[in-house]
Amino acid sequence: MADNVLTLNNIEVVYDFVSLAIKGVSLHVPQGGMVALLGANGAGKSTTLKSISGLLAAERGEVRRGDVRFLDHDLRALPPQERVRLGVAHVLEGRRVFEHLTPDENLIAASAIRSRHDVARNKERVYTYFPRLYERRTSQAGYLSGGEQQMLAIGRALMTQPKLLMLDEPSLGLAPFLVAEIFQIIRSINKEEGLSVLLVEQNAVAALEIVSHGYLIESGRIVMHDSAEALKKNPDIQEFYLGGT
Ligand code: ATP
């Protein structure tokens, strides 16, 4: 079996045929690993995730060069729904949930390709990890707090039984205690199930607490790759991303 669940090799992404957003990015996520992709606004984090899940086409973007490998699959050759079926889950920035549906209905709606038995089991699993969602399971999702909506967005991804969970800025707009709670839950899912995680964050402080490795992207290029411990001590990271001295 491949050592890495995901390998990006020198990918380039363009929007509208000309606008080069990603300029030769290589990164990997080991099987069962937790890796962060850090960077400022507009650096190319979301674009990188979309190149993996296949959601670029909807925005007139495309991977123009390079490999996107998931286990033994060449993802570039596959449509987004096939990538989900293989085990790639992408939680988009901004907690996209169906606001007029309940959490329960949101979870069921995310599981169209699973049997009824799988849906019941997966729902139970999501509620075990996120007991708050269970408490709110009959409210409209639009009335949930920001943190609860983020939990629901992650729960929807878990309903697809992913092997790789990609999270785009899950901490955005949430109070620090909620970020800590959600990140600890993600870490326990990783530990208990060996689910591999690629975490995109501007909040480097919180991200580097839970991942083992991180990449720093600037203007569409990876400019640093190291262990979380080393990144935390790096003066540039401290100055620009950790609010350090
Ligand atoms: P943010 O945290 O603000 O989402 P990011 O690091 O995720 O930033 P991207 O959203 O991937 O960055 O953007 C990378 C570059 O690609 C930016 O220059 C952005 O303007 C450009 N870009 C992103 N989406 C599109 C699009 N749909 N069409 C054209 N250009 C885009």
Q: How far is the CA of 41 from the centre of ligand 1 (A)?
A: 8
CB of 21 closer than 6 angstroms to any ligand 1 atom: yes
Expressed in angstroms, the distance from the first to the final Cα of the chain is 44
For the Cβ of 14 lying below 6 angstroms from any atom of ligand 1, the answer is no
| Ligand 1: nearest atom to the Cα of 13 | 16
Q: With a 6 A CB cut-off, is 44 part of the ligand 1 pocket? A: yes
The best mutation among 13, 17, 19 to test binding of ligand 1, ranked by most ligand atoms within 8 Å of the C-beta, falls on: 19
**What is the distance between the alpha carbons of residues 142 and 224, in angstroms, rounded to a whole number?**
39
Predicted confidence pLDDT, tens digits, the chain (245 residues): 569 999 999 999 999 998 999 999 999 999 999 999 999 999 999 999 999 999 998 889 999 999 999 999 999 999 999 999 999 999 999 878 999 999 999 999 998 766 778 899 999 999 999 999 999 999 999 999 999 999 999 999 999 999 999 999 999 989 999 999 999 999 999 999 999 999 999 899 899 999 999 999 999 999 999 999 999 999 888 887 776 54
Q: Is the CB of 46 under 6 A from ligand 1?
A: yes
What pLDDT was estimated at residue 238? 84
* Confidence (pLDDT) at 245: 43
User: From the CA of 3, how far away is ligand 1's center (Å)?
Assistant: 30
Under 8 Å between Cβ of 16 and 62: no
Amino acid at 155: G
Number of C-beta neighbours around residue 9 at 10 A: 14
Q: Which atom of ligand 1 is nearest to the CA of 200?
A: 7
pLDDT, residue 115, reads: 75
Q: Whose CA is nearest to atom 31 of ligand 1?
A: 15
Closest protein CA for atom 30 of ligand 1: 15
Locus of tokens 């979301």: 46
Question: Residue 38: beta bridge partners?
Answer: 201, 216
Identity of the residue numbered 245: T
The residue whose C-alpha atom lies closest to atom 16 belonging to ligand 1 is: 21
pLDDT at 1: 54
Best of 15, 18, 47, 171 to mutate for ligand 1, by most ligand atoms within 8 A of CB?
47
